[in-house]
Amino acid sequence: MKAILEIRNLTKSFRSFKAVDGISFAIPQGTCFGLLGPNGAGKTTTIEMIEGIKKPSSGDILYKGKPRDREFSKRSGIQFQSTSLMDYLKAREVLELFAKLYPHSQPIGNLVELCQLEEFLETYATRLSGGQRQRLLLAVALINDPEVLFLDEPTTGLDPQSRRNFWSLIRNIKSQGKTILLTTHYMEEAELLCDQLVIMDKGKIIADGSPYALLRQYFDHSYVCLDHQDFQCSPDAITDAVEKREDCIAIATNSVEKTLTELVSLNVDLRSLRVRNPSLDDLFLKLTGHRLRE
């Protein structure tokens, strides 16, 4: 698949601190591309350099095989991690204001339908809930009908239901053929939405590929999980590796049936038992030694 953006040996230093350390990757056209990592990993600095907000210390950023120019600014949309809205404008008036800033903009009715704004169009922007506010800001980012859409941690601070509603909007936008660059520290979000991704830690890329390929590359087992209070036996009594995690005891196993038989023979309380496949959060723990959201 043809790359719409190419990042080559990108570096950003702030005095002696290297926030982004020589990273390279390509973003295929028409995909949702994820940039993952904890706070301080270099995600926001990287996306701001690609957007053109920050100047790289070194490295190249290519748009359709060429250095970015004014055309890139016209063909990109940005939803920032934090954006202030006008105190005395209704949601509809915010859209009308931003539409006037571009020589060519999408019909506001299209954005209202796409981002599901109907119920609060006449509400003042400062009175919107967190989920409503993010949907309005998404509509603002789309107002110039961009080819590339940047979403910098768009669901941070939202409740689970609002987050899932926002995921649905992202899927709809992607179905229109737009390329999406998403930064997030929610691994579930990346696993559900992203076609390709890179995982960053301390300014470097520690893994890249599709979620499916990465999980297949690093894991060949499932997890049998139990609450701490239900696992009263010695970990040495279990054949497979036992991990004491903050939220559970996780047993990595290639045979769920064998592990269950062992647990039953040890009279382990199975009331909290659940079986799951490895996730991107497990991958991050494996690669870095700590969970993404610690």
For the chain, what are the domain ranges?
A: 3-216, 220-277
- 139-167 core/surface letters (b: 16 or more CB in 10 A; e: else): bbbbbbbbbbbbbbbbbbebeeebbebbb
Q: What is the DSSP letter of 228?
A: G
Euclidean distance between CA atoms 142 and 275, whole angstroms: 40
Taking only the tens of pLDDT, the chain with its 294 residues reads 789 999 999 999 998 899 999 999 999 999 999 999 888 889 989 999 999 999 999 999 999 999 998 889 889 999 987 788 887 899 999 999 999 988 888 999 999 999 999 999 999 998 999 889 999 999 999 999 999 999 998 998 888 898 999 999 999 999 999 999 999 888 889 999 999 999 999 999 999 999 999 999 999 999 999 999 999 888 888 989 999 988 899 999 999 999 999 999 999 999 999 999 999 988 988 888 766 654
What pTM was estimated for this model as a whole? 0.87
pLDDT of residue 294: 46
Paired sense of beta strands 32-36 and 179-184, if any: parallel
Contact in structure between 239 and 258 (CB atoms under 8 Å): yes
Closest CA to 201 of 17, 19, 12: 19
CATH class (in words) of the domain with range 3-216: alpha beta
